Structures are given as C-alpha cells and as structure tokens.
Chains A and B, each alone.
Chain A
Amino acid sequence: MSAAAGRQAARRSHRGRKRLRTVTSYALAVGGAVLFLLPLFWMVSSSLKPEYQVLQYPPRWLPDPIRWANYAEALTYVPFGRYTLNTLFIASMTIFGHLLSCTVVAYAFARLRAPGKEFLFLVLLATLMLPYPVTMIPIYIGFKTVGWVNSFLPLIVPAFFGSAFYIFLMRQFFLTLPLELEDAARVDGANTLQIIWHVILPISKPALATVAIFTFQASWNDFLGPLIYLHDQTKYTVSLGLSFFRSSYDVQWAYLMAASLVTMLPVIILFFFAQRLFIEGITLTGIKT
C-alpha cells in the first residue's frame, strides 16, 4: 500500500517536473519570439508615425494618428520604383544564368564518370570557402578594362559561369534521383542534353526553385557588388538606394523605416511562401556531404 502510494507520488512528481519543463520551454520560446519580433514591430510603428512623434521623448509605442502618407512620400523622395526595376532585372538575369549553368555542371558531377572528376569536385568545394574580397580587385580591374563598370553586366555575367554553392546543391539533389528513368531514355537514344532537359528537369522542380529563390535573395540583398560597380544613380539597386537615402542629409526616420520595410517586403513574402525550400536548401548543403 505504502509502496504503491510512494510509486504514485513519484509518478506524480515526475509528471509535475515534466509539466514544469514544458511550461518553461513555452515561456522561453515565446520570450524569444517577442525579442525577435520587437525590431520589426518597431520598424512598422515608426514608419507610420507623423514627424513630431518620431523623435518624441519618451517614445510612443504606437503611432497616433497613423500616417500612411509616409510610404508614398518616402518612395518618391528617391526613385525607389526605378531601383526596384533595376534590382528585379539583375535578379532575374542572374536566376536565369544560374539555372542554365548550374544544372548542366551539377548533372555532370552527379552522373558522369571522367578522370580528374574527384579532384575537380574538391576544387569546387574549396572555392565555396573563398572570400569574395580576395578576388574582388582583379575582377573589378578586368571589368573596368572591358568597359563594363557602371553597367549591370558585372553583376549578371558571372552567373552564367555557375556558382559553386548552387552546383553543389543541385548535385546533392541529383544524387537522390533514381537512375532508371535516365537509363530508359538512354536506351531510347537520347543524348545527355536531351536527358537533362526531358528527364531530369521536370522532376527537379524543388531544386530549381531553391536555386532560384536563393539567387533572388542574394541579388536582392547584395550590397558590395552594386556599391563597387554602379555609380550612376539611375542604375542603383534597392540596397544601394536605401544606403544612399540613409546617408543623404537630414532624412526623416519615418521615411527611412518605410523605405526599409518596403525593401524587406519581397524577401519576407517569398520567405513565407517558400520557407520549406529555404530550409531544405540550407540543410541539403549543410548536413550531407
């Protein structure tokens, strides 16, 4: 009897401890979420404040009245529409270049046998770790020599020569595909390019989408590249435009927050729709080698 009661008490205390742990976990997770969301909340709130409330002390948490006009004014203060079009152009060309080149190269690394392949694959992995600043200067001098500085070309053309990260990502994906379909196509007399186009690409949409999304994000977020190559204000990208906007004299914080939010918005929307692909892309290259 007393033994049973003791066992019951032990079980109860075990359950109690477990519940305490769950409650603590939720409290920490919610606390963390609040910390991670606060900056975004602050940005939205500030972007909607009338001028006199932005620098008011002590600061207000919510704008009153809400001033939507900040957005319209901020986005016409500097030509953000133009910057957006420029960035979209660069991003879509870069996506096209990466999809074209990385697919072919990755397929070769995943499926074909050739002497020297292992060594070249190691070289590919090594270039993953090469910091951009190391090659930045000669590449700049090269583009300057061919007269491409102050054009979009230096930001677009390299994409057509592949990118180690995306080649690696796609190779990892191709390795998971079954061989039977390709063998069947080969028996039917298809050549390698036909196999890639008709057999591999239709079943590789997740990998293609991941490369497209990562490339879009990288182009949209890129700062150092546009900073080096684009001098003409009409050629600015959104990141460069925002930095220029911020350094211009006496700009209102409400405007800056509105412009920052607009710059973040495409990435946020993309992220909500394709979070799974973001995560798969990161883990595909991160965990398996």
Chain B
Amino acid sequence: MTLTGRAKALRRARRSTSLARREALTFYLLISPWLIGLLLFVLGPMVASLVVSFTRWDLLSPATFIGLQNYEKMLTRDPLFWQSLKVTAIYTCVYVPMELAGGLVLALLLNQRLRFEGVFRTIYYLPSVLPGVAFVVLWIWILHPDVGLLNTLLSYVGIQGPRWLADPGWALPALLMMSLWGLGRSMVIYLASLQGIPRHLYEAASIDGANSWQSFWKITIPLLTPTIFFNLVLSIISTFQTFTSAYVATDGGPLDSTLFYVLYLFRQAFQYFNMGYASALAWVLFLIILALTLLIVRSSGRWVFYEGERR
C-alpha cells in the first residue's frame, strides 16, 4: 500500500520533471532566434572588436598584431581623440540635465488637466519622432546666419545673432538647441508616470496643510525618481552616440568644435579604414558608457524611491 503509493508519487514526480524538461526545451527552442542573434550580432562582434583593437587592419592587407599600440596612441598621441571625448562630454553634461528638467516641466504643465491636453501633447511630442536627417536639414536652414528663422527672430528684439554652425564657439550650442526640439520623448514618459500618481496622496497632503510646493517636493518628485532614473540612463546612452546631427549639419567642424566621438569613430572606420584603431575607440566608448551606467545604478539606491507594493 505505502509502497505503491510511493511508486505512484515517484512516477508522478518523474512525469512532472519530464514535463518541466519539455517546457524548458520548448523555451530554448522558441528563444533560439534571439540566442543565435545574440552570438552573431552582440557577443561575437564584441569579442571580435576586442581582438581587432589589438591589430592594424585596413581590410585590404592582412591584419597585423600590434598589441596595445592603438590604445597607447589614443591616450598619448591623438589630440582628436581627446577633442572628440571633450565635445561629447560637454554636450552630454549640458544636454542631459536640460532634457531631464525640460521634459519634466512640460509634463507638469500638461498634467494640470488643461483643456486640449491631447493637442498640446501631440505638438510637443511630434518633433521627437521625425527622421533625423530631415530634422537636421530643417535646422541648418533655421540656423542660417543671414536669413534663418532664429536670427530673424533675434533681430526683432535688436540682437544680431551669431553665425551659429559656422562659428566654432556657437556650433555646439546650436546643435544643443536643435536637440531640445526633441524634448517631447522624455516628456511623454514623465507624463505617463505623473498620471499614475494616486490623487488621494495629494488630497491627504493638502488636508495636512501642505502647499503645492511642498506636495511637489514630498510627493511628486520622490514618486517620479524611478522615471527620472530611467530617463537619465537612456539619455546618457543616447547622447554619447550622437552622430547624425554632427555628420549632416557640421561634419565635425568648424575647427573640430563638433567632432563627436561616434563621428570620429565612423571616420576612422569608414573613411580612413583604420579598423583596428576604430575598434579600440569602440571599446573605449563601451567602457565609458558601462562605467557611467554602473555609477548611476550604484547611486540609485540612495535617491531612487520604489514603492513597497510594486506591480
């Protein structure tokens, strides 16, 4: 009796493990396209990129192993590497906070249950989905020193605008301004999470005598920190990859004042065909972004507030 019971239990257990094994097999079969893609387009290329970064290779003659020379050249003998790093770092340091704050301000503005909220949201969001090249071409025209929209508007208030993209001192700020036209993307993300904050929290706070300024800092901001965190990581990763605007609008100039990192990498790879050196640049970019992301994730424990009850 007990023996057959145990045998039954054993058989049931065996059947359930075989079911589990089948389920696992199905899982791996179904994700196999992604797994193969991961090897072909992510892990493989990353290893290959590291290997190529230790060589000199123009794709015509065979690659020659040169050890750490590419990295050594980059760090000690290549002022353009430092210039591109500087341009990208400045741009990131200025643009990311502006996007975080600007997107939040627009979202707060729209979150006041304005009439036509949908119309405003459409207008703010639209530029951020437009094709990059057309977006940039339009802005080159707006920034035209003599008959551009921006300098025309400035002339109405008695300011003679700079030569923007043709001026080494103003080209980077001009690109910055241009990118702010795409602020709507972060606004939409903020707006969604603002609308997820339960109203009763504000009502309770106002009964306790909190004014709207206090509610903003004690309720809105803490509950938004996960979204701010998400936008911060996304924004840094994407600004470090700025390419189209620099390539189309200025081609890195004037005087390398808009030589973004990825533009320089692109030149080394696809214009000078220094595949080894370009791969070294790619790995350094990877390490920089990885370090920044880890830094933010590490710090997030201190300032990102997660609700106890997470859905």
Q: A138 and B44: CB pair below 8 A? A: yes
Decide if B67 is an interface residue (CB 8 Å cutoff): no
Decide if B48 is an interface residue (CB 8 Å cutoff): yes
What is the distance, in angstroms, from A218's C-beta to the closest C-beta of chain B?
Answer: 10
Size of the B side of the interface (Cβ < 8 Å), in residues, is 90
Annotate B219-252 by CB proximity to A: 1 below 8 A, 0 otherwise.
0000000110010010001001101100110000
Q: Name B110's contact: one of A29, A132, A242 (CB within 8 Å).
A: A29
Pairs across A and B, CB under 8 Å, 20 listed = A25-B114, A29-B110, A29-B120, A36-B124, A36-B127, A37-B123, A40-B127, A108-B31, A123-B38, A130-B42, A131-B237, A134-B283, A137-B52, A137-B269, A142-B45, A259-B134, A263-B131, A283-B188, A283-B193, A287-B196
Give A contacts to B, CB under 8 Å: 22, 25-26, 28-29, 32-33, 36-40, 42-43, 46, 54-59, 101, 104-105, 107-109, 112-115, 117, 120, 123-124, 127, 129-142, 144, 158, 160-162, 167, 192, 217, 220-221, 223-224, 227-228, 238-240, 242-243, 246, 253, 256-257, 259-261, 263-264, 267-268, 271-272, 275, 278-279, 282-283, 286-288
Q: B137 and A192: CB pair below 8 A? A: no
A114 / chain B contacts, CB cutoff of 8 Å: 23-24, 27-28
Q: Name A129's contact: one of B140, B244, B289 (CB within 8 Å).
A: B289
Q: How far is the CA of A238 from the CA of B131 in the complex (A)?
A: 10
Decide if B207 is an interface residue (CB 8 Å cutoff): no
Residue of B nearest to A213 (CB): B129
Q: Name B137's contact: one of A130, A138, A161, A256 (CB within 8 Å).
A: A256
Q: A287 and B23: CB pair below 8 A? A: no
Given contacts A275-B125, A279-B192, contact A36 B181 (CB under 8 A): yes
What is the distance, in angstroms, from A132's C-beta to the closest C-beta of chain B?
Answer: 7
Given contacts A38-B149, A131-B241, A283-B189, contact A228 B270 (CB under 8 A): yes
Q: B114 and A101: CB pair below 8 A? A: no
What is the distance, in angstroms, from B62's C-beta to the closest C-beta of chain A?
Answer: 13
Most chain B CB within 10 A, of A37, A129, A134, A140, is at A134
What is the distance, in angstroms, from B122's C-beta to the closest C-beta of chain A?
Answer: 6
Q: Name A134's contact: one of B23, B49, B149 (CB within 8 Å).
A: B49
Q: Name B152's contact: one of A58, A120, A158, A257 (CB within 8 Å).
A: A58
What is the distance, in angstroms, from A285's C-beta to the closest C-beta of chain B?
Answer: 9
Decide if B34 is an interface residue (CB 8 Å cutoff): yes
Decide if B59 is an interface residue (CB 8 Å cutoff): yes
Q: B193 and A167: CB pair below 8 A? A: no
Q: Name B244's contact: one of A109, A113, A167, A223 (CB within 8 Å).
A: A223
Q: A242 and B137: CB pair below 8 A? A: yes
Q: A113 and B42: CB pair below 8 A? A: no
Q: How far is the CA of A107 from the CA of B33 in the complex (A)?
A: 13
Interface residues of B in 155-201 (CB under 8 A from A): 155, 181, 184-185, 188-189, 192-193, 196
Decide if B279 is an interface residue (CB 8 Å cutoff): yes
Q: Name A158's contact: one of B37, B184, B188, B275 (CB within 8 Å).
A: B37
Decide if B132 is an interface residue (CB 8 Å cutoff): yes
Decide if B96 is an interface residue (CB 8 Å cutoff): no
Q: A104 and B33: CB pair below 8 A? A: yes
Given contacts A109-B31, A127-B38, contact A138 B142 (CB under 8 A): no
Most chain B CB within 10 A, of A57, A133, A161, A267, is at A133
Given contacts A112-B23, A120-B31, A268-B130, contact A139 B41 (CB under 8 A): yes
Residue of A nearest to B41 (CB): A158
Q: How far is the CA of A22 from the CA of B48 in the complex (A)?
A: 58
Q: How far is the CA of A40 from the CA of B123 in the complex (A)?
A: 11
